[in-house]
Amino acid sequence: MDLHEDHPRPGPAKQGPAGQYTIASAPERRSWLKPLLLLLLLAVIGLVAWRLLSGSSATRSARNADAAAQPVGVATIGTGDLRLTYNGLGTVTPLASVTVKTQIAGQLMSVGYTEGQAVKKGDFLAQIDPRPYQVSLEQAQGQLAKDTALLKQAQTDLQRYETLNRQNSISKQQYEDQVFLVQQDQAAITTDQAAIDSAKLNLTYCHIVSPVDGRVGLRLVDPGNYVQTGDATGLVTITQTKPMTVIFTLPEDDVPQVAKAMHAGALSVAIFDRANATQIATGTLQTLDNAIDTTTGTVRLRAQFANDDDALFPQQFVNAELLVQTIKGATTAPVAAVQQGAPGPFVYLVKSDSTVAVQSVKTGITDNGMVQIQDGLKPGDQVVVDGADRLRDGARITIPPPAGSTPDQAPSNPKGGRSGRKG
C-alpha cells in the first residue's frame, strides 16, 4: 500500500441516522474558525483606531488651548529723565548744642529769656548777684593804689642811692638792696592789676549771655537758687537750628560713586519724614566721614539745610535721599515689564500680528517705577506689563480696552491691538 497516497485525514466521529457514527473531515472544521478569527481581527483594528482618534482629538484640543489669545496689559516704551539716588536713615543733628553753665558761684537773680525763644549770640540770658565780685574789684584797686605809692617811694630812694653810690658814700650792698626793692614793688603792682582784671572778669561772668544763635530750651534753674560751677545740669540749653544738619548712613559699596560725584559738584539731598511719605527739606551734601564703620559696613554723611521754616527738629528721625546723577532723555520702561530668565533680563515685545516675542534687554538705573533700557528696545515699542506669566515666545495676545470704555472707544494699537498703559 502506498503510504504517500493522498487520503483525507479522518475527522471526528459523527452520529448518523440509525445510530451510526461517521468521521468529520478537516475542511468542515476550518469553516467555523475563519469567521471567528476575522471578528477578532476587526475588533483589534477598531480598538487601535479608537485610541488613535481619541489621542489625536486630545492633542488638537491642547493645541487649540495653547493657540488661544491671552489677555495682557501693555505699555509703550518712552523717554524721560531718570535719577540715580541712594537712600539712608538719618538723624537731625544741630551744628551746635550748648548747655549754658555758670562760671562763678552766686545767687541767680534773674533770667532774661522765655522758654523756646530764639536768641542771637550775645543776647542776655541770666544775671548772678555781682556784689561780692564788685567788692573784690574795689579791694584789688585799693591794693594797687597802695603798691603804686610804695613803688614811687622806692624809685625816689633809688635815685638818691645811685648818686651816693657814685660818690662812694654808701655801701654797694645798700644800693643793690634798693634796686631789688623797686623790682619787688613793680611785681606787686603787676599782681594787683591781675587781681583787678580777675574781679572785672567775674563781674562779666555775672552777666550771662548766649554763646551762639539758636533756640532756648526749657529753664533748668529758677531765679533765687544758688548756682555753682560744679552744677551738672547748667542753667539752660541752646540749640542752633539755622542752619541744621542731618547725619545719615550709606553702605560702603556706595562710597566710590558718591565720592566721584562730590568731586564733580554739589550733591542734592532731600529729607523725608519718618514714614518716608512727605518731603520735609532740601539741602546739599557737606562731607563724608573719614572712615567706614567696620561693625555695620556703612559710612556716615552730613548734609546741611537752611531750615528757615524750622521743619527739621533736633534728634528727629528722618529718611535721606541723596541724588547722585540725573540721566537726561533715557529710554524708559515700567519695571513690571522686565522679566528675569536664563538669557538674563528680557521683555515680551508686542508684534504687529498680535503675538509676542522674547526680547533680551540691558537695563540701567531704576527710578520711581521706571527702569532705564540701555539696549534691546527703542521708544515706541510696546511690551507686556501684566499677564506675562501666561506667555511664551510666539504666543498670541489680546489687549482688553481700558476700564470704563467700550470696544469702539478703546484706542487703536498701532501694532495690531489696543493700548492698555503708557510708560
Are 391 and 384 in contact, with CB atoms under 8 Å apart?
yes
Residue in 109, 108, 95 with CA at minimum distance from that of residue 215: 95
Are 371 and 384 in contact, with CB atoms under 8 Å apart?
no
Residue in 384, 387, 373, 378 with CA at minimum distance from that of residue 421: 384
User: What is the CATH code of the structural domain delimited by 97-238?
Assistant: 2.40.50.100
More confident residue, 49 or 232: 232
216-252 burial, b at 16+ Cβ within 10 Å, e below that, comes to: bbeeebeeeeebeeeeeeebbbbbbbbebbbbbbbee
Per-residue pLDDT reduced to its tens digit, 141-195: 999 999 999 999 999 989 988 888 888 888 889 888 989 999 999 999 999 999 9
Q: Which CATH superfamily is domain 86-95+243-327 in?
A: Efflux pump adaptor protein, beta barrel domain (2.40.30.170)
- Cα atoms in the 13 Å half-sphere on the side-chain side of 102: 27
Per-residue pLDDT reduced to its tens digit, 174-184: 888 989 999 99
Residue 87 confidence (pLDDT) = 93
Residue 21 has pLDDT above 50, yes or no: no
- Residues counted in the chain: 423
For the chain, give every domain's residue range. 70-82+328-422, 86-95+243-327, 97-238
| Dist CA 95 CA 287 (whole Å) | 13
User: What is the CATH code of the structural domain delimited by 70-82+328-422?
Assistant: 2.40.420.20
Domains 70-82+328-422 and 97-238 share a fold: no
Residue 52 has pLDDT above 90, yes or no: no
Under DSSP, the state recorded for 218 is -
Q: What is the pTM of this model?
A: 0.64
